[in-house]
Every structure is written in structure tokens, then in C-alpha cells.
Structure 1
Amino acid sequence: MNKTICALAAATLATGAAASEPIAVTAPGPQGDLAGTLIEPAEGKPVVLIVPGSGPTDRDGNNPMGVNASSYRLLAEALSQRGIGSLRIDKRGMFESRAAIPDPNDVTISAYAEDVSAWISVVRARTEVDCVFVLGHSEGGLVALEAGQKSDDLCGILLVASVGRPLGDTLREQLQSNPANAVVLDEAFAAIAKLEAGEGVDTQDMHRGLMPLFNPAVQGFLIDMFARIPAELAAGVEVPMLIVAGGKDIQTPVTDAEALAEGQPAAKLIVIDDMNHVLKPVEGDSRLANIATYSDASLPVHPELVDAIASFLEDSKS
């Protein structure tokens, strides 16, 4: 268990607010503690709870599958320069939240949303802020939307590079976009259809290239996730909502953001033309250059994203 360290008081300067030091914090999980990093806000400023994307993605936005962009850490630090607090978290069963459940695959979107509520309680107790906003990145947007169905404990939702269509459709599109997958598409599409119907998939004779995707250990989570319609969840949110998409996002296209905005017409939609999925600026249309940013923690998150978030939070106060 990490020891909690004291935060520096936020001081207002002519150029903005001095960043607070990060604090290791915990929240109660099902069988053990959840772990996260809190940056306290300046007086009168809100806190943004950052919910990670899919797979083994940690509180900084990195995962062992080749993503080392540190997008969430960099975003939290950029927000702190404006006095905005943040909490970034490890998902239950993973990294320093591994004590929360013995099997990190034994989860649902609803379970993750319960953890969001637990974290909001911790933030309010530690900082005495009036408002906690929930920012979901990628798959984390689905968690934020689920949490938003019970809006009495949060003040707004921010969806960044979030899926807006049924997840089965998204997966089909992603598989089809890679010509190398042509030989397994029929088998993959059949598996997706079964999961959408709430049925498990027999992987005994499945093409080995599909095994990581349809591993029996994750099929329960996939069934739960495929059953949710992001645009319908967006329609059920009654708090302010910001939707941000990147024009250079090669994983979640702008059409997903547009689908979310159609579901919730009161939401504010912003498209940042040269931002990619890991929230970094990208020049040109080279896929290799785009992917290179996934492992470049020295590259800051897109400044227009920081501006959009800060503006939305300020507008939501009025």
C-alpha cells in the first residue's frame, strides 16, 4: 500500500495556478483497496476523475502492450497548472488495485461504475469540493456513461475518444480495417454475433490469432459490454456533458462522437482535427507517425483538449 504524502497548497500566480503535488489515495473495493493518484484542486476549482480505457491500462494511461504515452498523467498535470484537480485510477484487479478482486477479468461495466461512485466519495471527503466530474477515455467513456445514469453524485461527464456505437459494430469495423484479418473475418463476426446474443463462444478450434480477443476469461465482460448502446446511455444522462473527438484518432473515429451527440443533443461536441487516440497532436496522415506517439511520453497532450476541458468546467459552474 502506498503511503499518503502531503499535498502542497495550490497558489494562484499571474500566469495561472501552481500545480499541487500528487497524493497516493485509496478507495474501498470489493475485496481490497482500489488505488489512485489525486492532485488537489485550487480553491473553488473542481476535480476530474479520469477513468482509463480498455485492457490493462494503468492510471497514467500506459499499458504493457506498447502504450507508454502517459496521456492521463500529462493531462492531470496540465489541468493542475490551471488549478483543476484530478484523480487518476487503476482499475479493480489491476496494478495497485489488484487486491480489489482476485480475477481482473471478472468485471462488468456496472462494477467499474460502482468504483467510480466509491472514488467520488473519497474525493469529496479529502478535498471538500462541490463538484466531481467524470472523464472517460475510450472504453472508459462507457463506464462514465453508466455512472452518469445515477447523476446525484457527479456534476458532469466528459467523453474523450469514446465509443458511440454498439461495441460489436466497432469491433467488426476495426477487424475489417486490417487486410491481414481477411482470413478470420467470418469466424470473428460469428463469434461477435454469439456474444451479442448473450452466448459464450467455443474457442477450442478457433484460429489462434483470434484467441486473445475471444479468450473465455474475457467473454463475460464482452457480453456485458456488447449489450450496452452508448448513444442510449448518453440520452439518459441529465448532467452537463462534453464530447471530444480527435480527427487523427485511428481507433475511435469522429462518427462515434457524433453518435453520442445525437443521443444527447444537449451535450457540447468538440472535434480537435489533429488529435489522436492517445490525446497527442499528430502532423500529417502517416499511420506510423501516429502510432509513434503511443510510446512518446515526452510529447504533451493536445493543448486544445486542455482548453476544452477547462472551458467546459468553467461553463458548468455558471
Structure 2
Amino acid sequence: MFQRRTALTLALTTALLVTTPAGATPASIPATDHEVVFTVEGTKTYGTLHVPAHRRGQRLPAALLLPGSGPTDRDGDQPPAITPHTLSHLAAALDGQGVATLRFDKYGSGRTGLGAYEGHPEDVDHPAFVRQAAAAYDLLRAHPATDPRALLVVGHSEGALTGLLLADKVHPRPAGLALLQPQAIRLLDLIALQLHAQLAAAAQAGRLTPEQQRANDQAVDRAVGALRANQPLDPTDLLPTLAQFFQSLFDGPSRRFVLSNDRVDPPTAASHLRPGTRVLLTCGTNDPQVPCATTDALAGALRRARTTGPGRTVLPGVDHNLRGTDPDTLAPAALTALRAFTDGLR
């Protein structure tokens, strides 16, 4: 059984009026954002709980939003350089569908920072993020405005893998799981795939000879094998930038996290989902980070697990952050897929 020691405290600060629906009555409660704080293994974690406008006493479906890789905060950003606002856009879209949301600053991001891992970030592994997400799920379940029978987990990129693992460890299990542009294969396999694609593009552009491409492809695969086998890196034939990248994985503070994440096979994790769980799996045709072909095995595992729902949905022209032609909004295709997912839960 998944063990965790968490002290949950819900700090409801001044409510921010967001919108009041047309035709609202005096018995209606307007949409509100609440700043929340919960403690996980000695770390205060900060987040935003958004509750849509609803009737007094009404229980709402509710979704836990999980961010992608790196120090990505509750809004889906790594400021100041990377600010697609993926999770805040998702929260706004789900508000329009009457779904409450909780998003939070995970370890290493936003107001939470490293918390108990301050001074020794090398000790953070992927299970720590799953435990943090489990505490957030418990907080969402306990809120008086949410329906514990209609809890959802919505994970973006690496957050989708976290969501897959979380779904098998919490109670009640989520009614639905949205895997948006997910990490659908083992992490180091995905990294190797991305590097091979970059090498092929460089060769096609004439920046590498075919021989250099072939040597680097082989060196990348050797480096992945050595990292998994706890052997030293052999930088022979690696371009300097690739050698530096792999050296950071071998010797840097993220090594433990990378290896613990890489041990998870997403299709195997999907096999543990409860039959009947409603699932949406998206991939975008303009997403070089998660090519649609990488989701094939995961989609098959979801079918074998007898999950329901939209299943895999290809999003034409959509990038990794669920954007189309407008970089400041979610693509219409992504919004349509999300609505198909939530409408089926009613």
C-alpha cells in the first residue's frame, strides 16, 4: 500500500471573484480562487483551488492538474523564459465545463521551492512527486464543494505519468484520467528518441555527415545503456553538446530522479487502472517532444485495461503545450477533446 505521512491544512484566503454566470440567483455561489497550503513530508506545498460558480450545496466534479517536467509551477510555466500557461489555461477551460480544479507548485517550482530537499536536491526522486500529488488529491477530495465520486486527474507531459501512478494509489480511485501529450514510453528511451531526431535533422541540413550522424546515434544509445547499468559515461563519438548533456545526467543532481522515472514503463502502469476508468490520451501532430507514435503502446494498454472514454485523440496542428496557431490560448482541438472527456462523466 502506498504509504505517506501528510498533514493537510486548507488555508482559504480572501476569495477572488472571477465570474458569475448569466442568470445567477441569490442562492448561487460565484466562482472563486482560493490559495491553499498542504504539508507533505515536511514541505509546505502551495497551490490554487478554483471552484466554478455553482448552486449552494451542489457537489462539483473536480480535477487535479499535474504539470510537466522540470521546475514547472502551478500555471504550467518555468518563468521567466517559458510561460505557456498550460495549466492555468486548462483550469479556465474546465471552469467553463463546471469542473473545480486544484493545481500546485511542485517540488523545485514556484512558492513551494525545494522545501525539505533544500540543500540536497539530488535526493529528489519521481516517487516524491507522486506522494506530493497524492496529498493534493486528498485535499481536493475533502473539499465540501467537490464530488468524491467524480474526481479527475489531468496530467500534462511528465504529469501524465505521475497521474498514471497516482491513479492506482489513491482512494477513491479517480473516475477519469486525462493524459495530455504524455510521457508514454520510458524516460531515457524518449530522450534517446528526441536526440536521434535532432541528429537526423542536423544531417539533413548538412551540419553533420552521415558518418557523424551514425556515430552519434550509436554513442547516444551506449550512453543510455551505461546510465541504466550504473556504468561510467564514454563520450567517444558524442558531439560536445551531447557529451555535456549526458554528463549532467550522469553526475548532476537530477540523476536519481531520472533513473527512478526511467524505471517506470507507462503501458505497464496503465495496466493497473481500474476497469471503467474514463481516459483521454492526446497527442499533437506538431509536438516533437511526444510524437504520436510513442503513444501506440500506451493506447493499447489502456484498451486492454478496459478503460472507457475518448481514448487516444490526435490533435492536428497542436504543439506540446496544447497550442495551435494562437500561442496565448489552448487550441480548439484540445478544448474539444477535453470537453468530450468531461461530458462523458455526467
The TM-score normalised by the length of structure 2 is 0.77
Q: How many residues align?
A: 300
CA–CA separation in structure 1 for the residues paired with 2:231 and 2:342: 42
Point out the structure with the larger helix share.
1
1:229 aligns with 2:265: yes
Unaligned runs of 5+ in 2: 1-10, 203-207
The 5 A counterparts of 1:130-149 are 130=147, 131-149=150-168
Q: What is the RMSD computed on CA atoms of the aligned residues?
A: 2.9
Matches within 5 A, 1:76-225: 76-98=91-113, 99-102=115-118, 103-130=120-147, 131-153=150-172, 154-179=174-199, 182=213, 184-197=216-229, 199=230, 201=232, 207-225=243-261
Deviation of the 1:24 alpha carbon? 1.3
Structure 1 residue 19 displacement after superposition: 7.7
CA distance in 2, matches of 1:13, 1:6: 20
Choose between structure 1 and 2: higher strand proportion: 2
Quote how far apart the aligned CAs of 1:22 are.
Answer: 2.3
Q: 1:50 offset after TM fit, Å?
A: 1.0
Q: Is the 8 A contact 1:29 1:100 kept in 2?
A: no
Q: How high is the sequence identity, in percent, across the aligned residues?
A: 26
Measured in 1, the distance between the counterparts of 2:88 and 2:225 equals 37
Give the 3-state SS of the residue equivalent to 1:217 in structure 2.
Answer: coil
User: SS state of the match for residue 42, structure 2?
Assistant: coil
Shift of 1:111: 1.9
Question: Do 2:74 and 2:88's aligned partners in 1 also have CA atoms closer than 8 Å?
Answer: yes
Q: Distance in 2 between matches of 1:100 and 1:136?
A: 24
Q: 1:272 aligned to 2:315?
A: yes
Q: Look up the equivalent residue of 2:335 and give its one-letter code.
A: V
Contact 1:93 1:100 in 2 (8 A): no
CA change 1:148–1:11 in 2 (3 A) is: same
Q: Deviations over 1:86-122 (max 9, x none)?
A: 1111112432112243244432332212112211121
- 1:316 — aligned with what? 345
Q: Which has the larger radius of gyration?
A: 2
AA aligned to 1:240 is: R
Distance 2:302 2:168 in 1: 13
Q: Structure 2 vs 1, CA of residues 228 and 19 (structure 1 numbering), >3 Å: closer, same or farther?
A: farther
Secondary structure of 1:58's match?
coil
Q: C-alpha offsets along residues 146-204 of structure 1, whole Å, 9 cap, x if unaligned?
A: 1012253322211000022222221111111112594754444323113333x264599
Q: CA deviation at 1:78?
A: 2.1
1:143 to partner: Cα distance: 0.4
Q: What is the aligned partner in structure 1 of residue 296 from structure 2?
A: 258
1:8-42, Cα deviation, whole Å (9 max, x unpaired): 49754379x99823221111121221111111134
Residue of structure 2 in register with 1:39 after alignment? 50
| Shift of residue 53, structure 1, vs aligned partner | 0.6
Structure 2: distance between partners of 1:18 and 1:244: 33
**Code of the aligned partner of 1:95:** G
After TM superposition, what 4+ stretches of structure 1 lie above 6 angstroms from structure 2? Answer: 203-206
Q: Which runs of 5+ in 1 are unaligned?
A: 283-292
Structure 1 distance, partners of 2:64, 2:171, is 15
Q: Answer whether contact 1:195 1:226 (CA < 8 A) is retained.
A: no
Residue identity matched to 2:191: L
1:263 deviates by 0.8
Q: Which whole-Å CA distance do the structure 2 matches of 1:200 and 1:23 have between them? A: 48
TM-score by length of 1: 0.83
- Farther off after superposition, 88-97 or 224-233: 88-97
- Aligned with 1:48 (options 49, 60, 63): 63
Aligned pair in 2 of structure 1 residues 204, 192: CA closer, same or farther (>3 Å)? Answer: closer
- CA gap 1:184/1:55 in 2 versus in 1, 3 angstroms: farther
Deviation at 1:261, TM superposition (A): 1.1
- Larger RCO (alpha carbons 8 Å, 6+ apart): 1
